[in-house]
Amino acid sequence: MLRRPRLDRSQLESAIHLLREAHRVVVLTGAGISTPSGIPDFRSPGTGLWSHWDPLEIASIWGFREKPQRFYEWIRPLAQKIVQARPNPAHLALVELERLGKLHLLITQNIDALHQKAGSRRVVELHGHLRTVQCLRCRFQDAMDGYLPAFLERGELPVCQRCGSILKPDVVLFGEPLPEEEILMAQEEALRCDLMLVVGSSLEVMPAADLPALAVRRGARLIIVNLGPTPYDHLADVVLHADVAEAMPRIVQGLRG
């Protein structure tokens, strides 16, 4: 079993100090904040979602158009985990950060809605969500709730009530643009914040991964809390390679103290 890295006390204290001094904090979260809730990430060797599937074949818009049944075969176990998942201490710590008046905006790359379940209010979902589905042929849109039980329990695919095509969940697949309003808001807030806090993101998927660099170029401080290294660690004022479910509550506890 892999040993989790121990929290670096000096880095922890530095993160608390920077957050205490900041006036406009923007948070960016990735798959690593949800792994303690039982949702697998994408790139961990052996356990990541891409360990056994080709993402461009399964989770791309052209792959969906060609074989939507294959996409739903892949996402069904993930959707079952998402429905059953509950927010972990890292999600709850960000809710507390918002309650303390420190979190201006929470930007997430996740589609699991665990931030909203935890109680976060200002959430921008860059990669979409599973709350709605739409038809790529006639643009009919509907709530996912009416299709979800049959899909999760029996694998029945959501079918368009107008034209009979298989509906696509409103998640961003490879080859699709990010939702315009959400990415513009994220970029604007990255330019306006004085501190960006990255939690549980490997910072490898563009354009979300460029948000920390955008913030730093405009003079913001940068804190990265992630189990493994990221390509942007060299830009950060503080890097905590730690379990986010342990590190984030400690940071917020230090702020309260």
Residue 190's CB is within 10 A of a number of other CB atoms, namely: 23
Q: Are the CB atoms for 211 and 196 separated by under 8 Å? A: yes
* Residue from 91, 104, 115, 127 carrying the catalytic annotation: 127
Based on the residue annotation, tell me whether 104 is a catalytic residue of this protein: no
Going by C-alpha positions, the residue among 211, 197, 204, 199 that lies closest to residue 230 is: 204
Q: Are 126 and 107 contacting, i.e. CB atoms less than 8 angstroms apart?
A: yes
Backbone angles phi, psi at 25, to 5 degrees: -105, 130
CA dist 3 → 6, 8, 11, 51, 190 (Å): 9, 15, 19, 21, 34
Q: Is the dihedral of CA 21, 108, 105, 117 positive or negative?
A: negative
Give the catalytic positions in this structure: 127
